[in-house]
Chain A
């Protein structure tokens, strides 16, 4: 199968179950909402060492936020409820509460919930105020900029992590141009994030390592510098491989995100250095969700 002259490998991306929450950060201006959102998604590229994967989902108009101010929707993914519980409270406390004029609300309505204000309220040192409005409990924590308002809990849902595709290009410059366009298109799909910096992974990994203490290590089959040294998946003309990893709320949204992302990358074509599209496939050892590239592009 080829799209715009770019070979699509007959393979599949392998994804795994995760837990996800969506939080809404508002502030006096969109600029300050972005600052808080960027702080919360910092060091949240992969669960391998960060504990969570997080990214901005989209900007919200004042009419879409609980307090009528401009806001940002951030999605946070983790392997378990325990991880999510730990990291959401910590990150909202250290990244959002510390950002001037912000407030933080749940962006998901579900039975399962993780604490936000429930833990953070103690920062109020006894001066915190609880308010139940429209069946939602909010905490008003007096802080030096005024009040930090945070919803007691954030809804949690089942989700999928690790949807991905690989862009095999002549050079890193070619690959990056195509990936930037692909990420731009993926960001338009609701319910998905690309948690790695700029949405692009420069150092894709395989499961396991020769070192016992490592759970993930470099994916040597796709490293251009090891072409002659290992059983490589790369042909001679390929000089750089970049990966786009997608976490999403369900299979449908990941399917859609992969489809628009791959098509955007392929639009560059071989003339602009894009040679092949492949996917991270670990032989079924990583997770139950399989996204077959050719099937989703049909």
Chain B
């Protein structure tokens, strides 16, 4: 069986809601039925094949070609299978995702992985603000799963996240890990202002010292954190690609905070292996 491939015919002028293009939604549907599916384009409901050419049979492997940032809600609520998006994609990538793998070979918009509760999102480019965060009005952000961003991320990464892991290989914007309840965020390049602002619990791991750290974080000194050894070993077990942490030892400067909110969270600044 070949992967089910959706190729955009033209660059969309308006936002295009691709919510229906998930493995569980397309499972068991014939190609003709898929082509006749209705999707929201701008403020209209249109037939899918007016915008996409469709080929392939395997609904557990979905590929979206020539994607642009006008595509929103990609992989929303997906529970299984794989979706690969070649190109950029817009907001709400993997919103409420429960399982499966979502891969974007490009940049993504705002709110990627918000409220996700499982599965994995790989972003090869940059991500916008509020990665893994909760939507306004939600108590919590992502509650499980893994988001791996090879580029940079915007502001308020993981805002109010409950559980899960976000890895940013590039830079992160301001207020990284703001108000997090738990979970782990790793940033391997520079981080913006006030990381961990308002965090209750959880772990923010930084490879570089932040330039602005809130006064409500207190130093616990340089420590050998056994947890880092466990985390890095387990990440390498998930995916060989995540074995990059081998160059970091278990040594880290630990700050506890945010003391304005109990101070049970931690900010770990990694020490490189010499």
Contact = CB atoms under 8 A, between A and B. Distances in A.
Given A66-B233, A68-B233, A131 B227 contact: yes
Given A127-B264, A131-B203, A133-B235, A66 B230 contact: yes
Interface string B228-272: 011111110110000000000000000000000000101000000
B264 A147 contact: no
Interface in B178-204: 182, 184, 201, 203
Nearest to A101: B226
Contacts of B107: none
Contacts of B164: 132
B163 A67 contact: no
A134 interface: yes
Interface residues of B, number: 24
A139 to B, nearest CB: 10
A103 B264 contact: no
B64 interface: no
Contacts of B39: none
Contacts of B226: 67, 101, 103, 146-147, 149
A50 B227 CA distance: 33
A137 B237 CA distance: 15
A131 B184 contact: yes
A276 interface: no
Prevailing SS type, chain B contact patch: mixed
Contacts of B230: 66-67, 103, 133, 138, 149
Contact of A67 (B144, B165, B224, B229): B229
A120 to B, nearest CB: 15
B37 to A, nearest CB: 33
A170 interface: no
Interface residues of A, number: 20
A133 B231 contact: yes
Interface in B134-176: 144, 163-165
B144 A132 contact: yes
A146 B231 contact: no
Interface string B217-229: 0000001111101
A131 B235 CA distance: 13
A132 B229 contact: no
Nearest to A146: B226
Nearest to A127: B264
A51 B191 CA distance: 53
Given A67-B226, A67-B229, A146-B223, A133 B144 contact: no
A69 B229 contact: yes
A259 interface: no
Contacts of B182: 130
B233 A132 contact: no
A19 to B, nearest CB: 27
A248 B224 CA distance: 38
20 contacts: A66-B230, A66-B233, A66-B234, A68-B229, A68-B232, A101-B226, A127-B264, A130-B182, A131-B203, A132-B144, A133-B165, A133-B184, A133-B231, A133-B235, A134-B238, A138-B227, A140-B227, A146-B223, A147-B225, A149-B230
Interface of A: 65-69, 101, 103, 127, 129-134, 136, 138, 140, 146-147, 149
Interface of B: 144, 163-165, 182, 184, 201, 203, 223-227, 229-235, 237-238, 264, 266
